[in-house]
Structure 1
Amino acid sequence: MSSLSQTLRYIVQGGPPETGVPERVRTEIRGREASSERLISWVQLGLVLFFSVLYALAPRAEGTAGFNFVPVALGAYFLFTVLRLALSYRFELPQWYLLISIGVDMALLVGLIFSFHIQYDQHPAFYLKAPTLMYVFIFIALRALRFDPRFVLTTGLVAVAGWLGLVFYAAFAEMDSMRVTRNYVEYLTGNSILIGAELDKTMVIFAVTVILSVALYRGRSMLFEATRGQAAAKDLRRFFAPEVAASITDADTSLEAGEGSQREAAILYADIRSFTSTSATLPPEVVLAVLAEYQNLAVEVINQEGGRVDKFLGDGILATFGAVHPSDTYAADALRTAEKLVASVAEEQERFRAAGWPGRLKMGTAAAAGPVTVGVIGSKSRLEFTVIGDAVNRAAKLEDANKAQKSAALTDRPTWDLALRQGYTATLLEVRPDITVPGMGHPVDLVVLADL
């Protein structure tokens, strides 16, 4: 019972509670609702124009002689719909205005039905057989476009009240000539009222309203979750490379630790020199501002050359080429990026000084190519998408070797030769053979890509 009352309360409130829903998600939902209201207004405008044209072209029905309410109703409703449409583009329509709009919709329909007995000079029971009642389902369905059960429920209840009002008036308008009957044939062939038939119509309207309201409640719950998930997916694409984010959000099954594949790729490490010691003397906001300027510059260069940032390591950056998606020029792209990074940082010194960095900002970078494993690591509750392999370790050790070698960018000879085969065209600056690099098991031939 408590679950049912909670569901009914949520339907009246318009769906699931917004407690715990981020403001940006609520803003997104409000924007979609405003767009839906504009769509509803356009559909209503189209309907009233269609009915107006149809009425203007159709000949007047035989037997109609009384006051014709239709042109007045359609004209007034057209003006109201145009006003509503114009206001919906100016601001978000308040709920009280939407409720008034629902009342106008139903007033139009009830008024048109009521006018039948006047036009044909018949007893009020005559209008109960008017097929115009079927249009009530159009108005109820229109409110479903907003995905808010409150307005569907309100429309349906107003329609039920309007129809019951028409039935009541028809039954008691002329007390001296009660037209209530239990004979179905008499009901069909004369101006009699069959209470069971009118109750059937009422129950159908009410049942459709309730079913659609419950369906919309469930749909609105999914809308909240989908909007929240969409916002999370957008944020995910800011934390991961687009291809990595897509592989997570578009996966057919839940990702598990241990899933991955092996690829030929190049790894690039980049690091700011003396960042820890210098940042210790600066205010935190200055440190973060400088770091943001540097990372924005570095990411732009990496992306331009086809690389993807795997992770930020404080002031360090780990980027991959050919790991997230296969590439035939991964080594060449990585070496071009290393050179371009050093050059770009040197050219943008004023940018870093303006952010608050004292003196000259220096960086070191290195690249290494080879087979790597690309996949998911971690535990059941905490996963991370990363790259593992000898190329990752070599790139890290080579970057650290910049300090001892007094260089700004390094690679090893195998990576250099591979890059040349892949179309890399830079002039060989310097080769330093048989250099012992801490952390590497044997001496390596270092290729200097850029000096300090």
Structure 2
Amino acid sequence: MSTFRNSLRYILHGGPPENGIPDRVRTEIRSREASSERLISWVQLGLVLFFTTLYAIAPRAEGASGFNFVPIALGAYFLFTVLRLVLSYRFELPQWYLLISIGVDMALLVGLIFSFHIQYDQHPAFYLKTPTLMYVFIFIGLRALRFDPRFVLTTGLVAVAGWLGLVFYAAFADMDHMRVTRNYVEYLTGNSILIGAELDKTMVIFTVTIILSVALYRGRSMLFEATRDHAAASDLRRFFAPEVAASITDADTELQAGEGSQREAAILYADIRSFTSTSAKLPPEIVLAVLAEYQNLAVEVINQEGGRVDKFLGDGILATFGAVHPSDTYAADALRAASRLVSSVEADQHRFRAAGWPGRLRIGTAVAAGPVTVGVIGSKNRLEFTVIGDAVNRAAKLEDANKEQNSSSLTDRVTWDLACTQGYQIEDIEARPSTIVAGMNNPVDLVVLAS
């Protein structure tokens, strides 16, 4: 019973409860619903134009002697539909207006059906035979375009009420000559009313309404979940490189810790000099503003050189070249990015001063190449997509060595030679062979990319 009440409350509410759904997801849902209302308006306009054209060119049914309400009804409905379409592009149509629209739809249909006995000068039972009733399914189906069970349910119930009203009027309009019969032949061939047949029509309308409402009830749940997942996937692409985000969101199976592959790649590590001591003297908003300027610049340079930022480490940046997607020039690209990042920061000092950084913002960069493992690490409840390997550790150690070497960008001889075979060319480099680097067991042949 509680499940039924929850389902009914869900349908009447039009979707999941307010809690648990982010505002941006609800905004996206409302945007799609507004688009659906415009689609419904266009379809309605197309239908009224089609029926108007059909009415204008089709041969007139014979036997009419009374007033013809059809042209007036179609004209009025055309004006209402155009108004509705225009308003749907001006603002989000409120629910009360949509309910009025449903009432107008059903009033048009019921009014036309009712007018037939006047137009043809027949007993009201005459209009119960009209095939125009089938148009009610068009109006019910139109409301399904919004993916909101409330409006389908409302349309169907209004249609049922309208049809029962027509049946009631036909049955009691002429009490002196009651037209109710149980003879099926008499019902088909004369102006008689077969209650069972009218109940059948009513049940068909009601059943179709309920089936569509239940289908939309389930579909709307999926719409909310899909929209929320889409928003999450979009956010994911801001936290990860596009290729990494795609590998997560498009995976055929659920990712598990320990999944990964080994690739040849280059790792770039960048760090701001004296950031901790300087930022301790500044307001938090200035620190974050400077970081934002620096990181925007760094990401632009790294992406343009074919790399992808793996993670931000406070004021540090870890970027990969050839790890996310294979590359034949990963080492050369990484060295170009390291050198260009240093020169770009030096050239754009005005950006950092405008953000509030005192003095010059100086950075250090380092690159190391070699085999790395690219994959998922962590626990079953907390995963991280990253790269691990000796090249990652060497890049971090080499960046720290910039301080001892009074340099701005370093790499090792192995990475330098590899980059040269991949087309990297630069003049006036400085080699420092057999240099002791803190954290490394053996001396390293260093190459200074920028002083």
The TM-score normalised by the length of structure 1 is 0.99
Match of 2:161 in 1: 161
How big is the shift at 1:442?
1.2
Match of 2:186 in 1: 186
Match of 2:91 in 1: 91
Matched to 2:229, the amino acid is: G
- Cα separation, 1, equivalents of 2:426 and 2:101: 70
Match of 1:121 in 2: 121
- Cα separation, 2, equivalents of 1:384 and 1:65: 79
Matches within 5 A, 1:195-234: 195-234=195-234
How big is the shift at 1:425?
1.7
Match of 1:285 in 2: 285
- Given the alignment of the two structures, is residue 342 of structure 1 paired with residue 346 of structure 2, yes or no? no
How big is the shift at 1:428?
4.4
Q: Deviations over 1:197-237 (max 9, x none)?
A: 00010011111111111111111111111111111111111
- Cα separation, 2, equivalents of 1:426 and 1:162: 84
- Cα separation, 1, equivalents of 2:328 and 2:318: 20
Q: Deviations over 1:92-123 (max 9, x none)?
A: 11111110000000011111111221222111
RMSD value over aligned CA atoms? 0.8
How big is the shift at 1:18?
2.2
Matches within 5 A, 1:217-256: 217-256=217-256
SS at match of 2:327: coil
- Cα separation, 1, equivalents of 2:291 and 2:165: 71
Match of 1:39 in 2: 39
Matched to 1:329, the amino acid is: T
- Cα separation, 1, equivalents of 2:363 and 2:221: 50
SS at match of 2:34: helix
Match of 2:140 in 1: 140
- Cα separation, 2, equivalents of 1:18 and 1:221: 13
Moved more, 9-18 or 275-284: 9-18
Match of 1:269 in 2: 269
Match of 1:258 in 2: 258
- Cα separation, 2, equivalents of 1:25 and 1:164: 41
- Cα separation, 2, equivalents of 1:312 and 1:34: 39
SS at match of 1:142: helix
Match of 1:373 in 2: 373
How big is the shift at 1:59?
1.4
Runs (4+) of structure 1 moved beyond 2 Å?
none
How big is the shift at 1:64?
1.6
SS at match of 1:373: strand
Matches within 5 A, 1:361-400: 361-400=361-400
Match of 1:319 in 2: 319
- Cα separation, 2, equivalents of 1:33 and 1:410: 55
How big is the shift at 1:276?
0.6
Match of 1:356 in 2: 356
Match of 1:4 in 2: 4
SS at match of 1:60: coil
Matched to 2:214, the amino acid is: V
SS at match of 2:366: strand
How big is the shift at 1:344?
0.3
Matched to 2:228, the amino acid is: R
- Cα separation, 2, equivalents of 1:340 and 1:99: 62
Where does the alignment leave 5 or more consecutive residues of structure 2 unmatched? Answer: none
Match of 2:108 in 1: 108
- Cα separation, 2, equivalents of 1:14 and 1:301: 47
Q: Deviations over 1:390-445 (max 9, x none)?
A: 11111111111100000000011111111111111222411111111111121111
Matches within 5 A, 1:46-85: 46-85=46-85
- Given the alignment of the two structures, is residue 407 of structure 1 paired with residue 407 of structure 2, yes or no? yes
- Cα separation, 2, equivalents of 1:180 and 1:254: 65
How big is the shift at 1:306?
0.7
- Cα separation, 2, equivalents of 1:356 and 1:15: 47
| Residues 410 and 449 in structure 1, CA contact (< 8 A), matched pair in contact too | yes
- Cα separation, 2, equivalents of 1:295 and 1:223: 36
- Cα separation, 1, equivalents of 2:308 and 2:325: 10
Moved more, 433-442 or 400-409: 433-442
- Cα separation, 2, equivalents of 1:423 and 1:209: 69
Moved more, 63-72 or 401-410: 63-72
- Cα separation, 2, equivalents of 1:204 and 1:317: 65
| Residues 16 and 217 in structure 1, CA contact (< 8 A), matched pair in contact too | no
- Given the alignment of the two structures, is residue 152 of structure 1 paired with residue 152 of structure 2, yes or no? yes
Q: Deviations over 1:288-336 (max 9, x none)?
A: 1111111111011001111000000010000000000111110000000
SS at match of 2:146: coil
Match of 1:29 in 2: 29
Matched to 2:322, the amino acid is: G
The TM-score normalised by the length of structure 2 is 0.99
SS at match of 2:15: coil
How big is the shift at 1:21?
1.1
| Residues 364 and 409 in structure 1, CA contact (< 8 A), matched pair in contact too | yes
- Given the alignment of the two structures, is residue 427 of structure 1 paired with residue 423 of structure 2, yes or no? no
- Cα separation, 1, equivalents of 2:314 and 2:13: 46
- Cα separation, 1, equivalents of 2:260 and 2:20: 35
- Cα separation, 2, equivalents of 1:133 and 1:423: 76
Where does the alignment leave 5 or more consecutive residues of structure 1 unmatched? Answer: none
Matched to 1:200, the amino acid is: D
Identity %: 86
SS at match of 1:374: strand
- Cα separation, 1, equivalents of 2:394 and 2:428: 20
Matched to 2:17, the amino acid is: P
| Residues 40 and 145 in structure 1, CA contact (< 8 A), matched pair in contact too | yes
- Cα separation, 2, equivalents of 1:13 and 1:131: 34
